[in-house]
Amino acid sequence: MSLKYKRVLLKLSGEALSGDQGHGLDDDIIESICDAIKVVHDEGLEIAIVVGGGNFWRGRSSKIDRATSDSMGMLGTTINALRLQASLEAKGIQTRVQTAIDMKQVAEPYIRRRAIRHIEKGRIVIFAAGTGLPYFSTDTTAALRAVEINADVILAGKRGTDGIYDSDPNKNKNAIKYDKLTYIDILNKGLGIMDATATSLCMENNMGLVVFGIDDPKNIIRVSHGENIGTIVE
C-alpha cells in the first residue's frame, strides 16, 4: 500500500510516550513509535511532529498562576521533543528540534521558513514548547504548525482510544465510534477530542485531521497509508 499523504503533521500526546505508567518516558514505547516513524520516513513521507507534555505536567494547579503553570507545561514538551530526537537520530534519521520559546543552547528557535526547508530536505522537524504562549494547548500548536508548514493532514495519535466516540468508551460500553466527522460536529456535539481553539483553526483553514490509536505504534504506518483505522475529520 502506498502513502496517502506527502507531508503530515504528526501530533503525539505526551502520554503517548509514557506507556502504561501514564507519566514520564517509557523507552520501549518510544522505540516502537520511532521505528514506525522510520518506516514511513523511509518511504518518503515528509514529517513534522508536535509533541505534548501531559506526561510531565498539565498546566493546572490551585497553588500557582496559570501562566507559570503553562510555562512548565511547555518545558515538558521540550523534554519529550529532545527524547524523540535522540531515538530518531539513533535510527539514522536527520532531525531538528525547533522551540517556540528560545533555548538556543539545546534547540533551534522556531522559524517557519527554516522548518519547511528542513522538511524538504527530508529531515523530521519536532516542534517543541507549544505555541510559546500560555492558555494554549499542543493541539492548537499542531493545528497552527500544520497550517504554517502546509501539511496535508494532522495525524493525531491518542492513547487509550482508537478514534472519536459519541461518549467516553471507557465509561460507556455502548459508545459509538465515528468513522468520519466534520469540525462543526465536534463543536456542536461538544466532543472533547480537541479544544475549540484547535478545532476552529483547523476548520477555518481546511486542515484535515485523522485521530487514531497510538497504543499500537504501527498504526502510524497504517494511517499514513490511508487505512481506515481511526476517525477522519474534515
Q: Which residues bind ligand UDP (CB under 6 A)?
A: 13-15, 52-54, 58-59, 69-70, 73-74, 76-77, 130-131, 133-134, 136-139, 141
Between 74 and 88, CB nearer to ligand UDP: 74
**Least separation in angstroms between CB 171 and ligand UDP:** 19
**Which candidate, 174, 162, 156, places its Cα nearest to that of 229?**
162
**Least separation in angstroms between CB 92 and ligand UDP:** 27
**Least separation in angstroms between CB 10 and ligand UDP:** 12
Residue 196 φ/ψ, nearest 5 degrees: -65, -35
For 106-137, b/e burial (b = at least 16 CB within 10 A) is: ebbebeeeebbebbeeebbbbbbbbbbebebb
The residue number whose beta carbon is nearest to ligand UDP equals: 52
Query: Around 136, how many Cα atoms within 13 Å sit in the side-chain half-sphere?
Result: 20
Between 14 and 230, CB nearer to ligand UDP: 14
**Least separation in angstroms between CB 42 and ligand UDP:** 26
Between 77 and 85, CB nearer to ligand UDP: 77
Residue count (the chain) = 234
**What distances in angstroms separate CA 159 from CA 80, 123, 203, 206, one per listed residue?**
16, 26, 24, 25
Between 136 and 183, CB nearer to ligand UDP: 136
